[in-house]
Amino acid sequence: MKIAESTVALATQRSYSSQHQTELNIQIEEAGTAAPRPEVSLSETGKAKAAQAVDPEEALENDPRYQLVKILVEFLTGKEMKLFHGRLGIAKGTAAPTQASPQAVEATPEGGIAIDYREVYEESESVQFQAAGIIKTSDGKEIEFSAELVMSRSFREELSFSAASGSLARPKKDPLVINYNAPAATLSEQTFAFDLDADGQKDNISLLNAGSAFLVLDRNGDGKVNDGRELFGPQSGDGFADLANLDGDGNRWIDENDAAFAQLRLWIKDASGTDKLVNLQSQGIGAIYLGNAKADFSLNNAQNQELGQARAAGIYLNEDGSGGTVQQIDLAV
């Protein structure tokens, strides 16, 4: 090819963006108060001995809230941390100048701290190159042409850390879940109020996503789930062991040979709050095996916050011979 004339246009467009976000939330719940302490009078010698017995640094080192903060800061910075608590500044061997007041109150041991840290770094880059033109060759041909080049990349890194202790720690209760139309249980960020631990107080627990349901025993036959005593696991911590109590013939299966089988239900609750108690046989479930194996798995949301924890897994059989899974799920409450 011999080019005699040409008209060429070149254009590029590039974009680049980066974003670095850091979030740190620390929630501290002070301990409550108890009844007023009785007045105690100490001699000067007694005060001195009492002061010698108090090591403020040791008291701080043993404070679980301090330990959590220390762990978090050392985890994030990679440096050892030493924290001084100004309010514990009574030196060893120095007598306290005051005596207990009759109105002084004693803090209850229950307090708590919760720490949530999240760091996200995102970077993206793209470039687009375009070329177009017309050439004329020496033999008189005219050729139009175009070409394009596109390159792009993206990067995202996320670091998260959560810890809690005391009254702010989220206890877990572990009911059995039947995956009647799902390979495994997953949890929604949407919660509902239910007295899972049967203590008279309703807890906010995550909804199961579609295809999974809580296994319940309608003990009083009222057609609804009253509290966690009608589920398997929240009271004992072992849902499979609770279910085994219904195995009347001892064959390690809960089936039609067992009197309670007809009372078992799937508790299906959807996002709109609608409840359904479904008979096992209407879903084609014929038997639930009592054997299970440890199968730990964290059930976290998109922000890596804990919604629950899968603990163990087992199986059930349908009337058509196919199988499905049963899971013991620790729900954060």
Q: What is the pLDDT of residue 92?
A: 42
Residues 6+ apart with CB under 8 A from 152: 124, 125, 126, 127
Each domain of the chain, given as residue ranges in start order, spans 170-332
Q: What is the pLDDT of residue 64?
A: 63
Tokens of residue 272, six digits: 């709109």
Query: Structure pTM?
Result: 0.54
- Mean pLDDT rounded to a whole number for the chain: 81
Identify the residue with better confidence: 317 or 275.
317
Tell me which of 97-106, 207-216, 224-233 is least confident. Answer: 97-106
Report the 10 Å Cβ neighbour count for 303. Answer: 13
Alpha-helical segments (H) within 231-293: 239-244
Q: What is the pLDDT of residue 108?
A: 44
* C-alpha dist (Å) from residue 105 to 32, 93, 113: 10, 25, 22
Q: What is the pLDDT of residue 293?
A: 94
pLDDT at 34 > cutoff 50 = no
Q: Smallest Cα–Cα separation from 71: which of 27, 28, 115, 112? A: 115
Q: Which tens digits make up the pLDDT trace of 120-178?
A: 999 999 999 999 999 999 999 999 999 999 999 999 988 876 676 666 665 556 799 99
Pairwise CA distance, residues 242 & 215, whole Å: 11
Residues 213-239, buried b or exposed e (16+ Cβ, 10 A)?
Answer: bbbbbbeeeeeebebbbbbbbbbeebb
In this structure, are residues 247 and 290 in contact, taking their beta carbons and an 8 Å threshold?
yes
Identify the residue with better confidence: 135 or 28.
135
Query: Averaged over 9-37, what is the pLDDT?
Result: 79
Q: Which tens digits make up the pLDDT trace of 229-270?
A: 999 988 888 999 999 999 999 999 999 999 999 999 999 988
What one-character-per-residue DSSP string does 178-218 give?
A: EESSSSS--EEEEEEEE-TT-SSS-EEEEEEPTT-EEEEE-
Q: Smallest Cα–Cα separation from 215: which of 230, 194, 236? A: 230
Q: What is the pLDDT of residue 182?
A: 93
- Residue 132 phi/psi, 5-degree rounding, is -150, 150
Provide the CA 176 distance to its chain's centre, in angstroms.
18
pLDDT at 282 > cutoff 70 = yes
Pairwise CA distance, residues 120 & 22, whole Å: 7
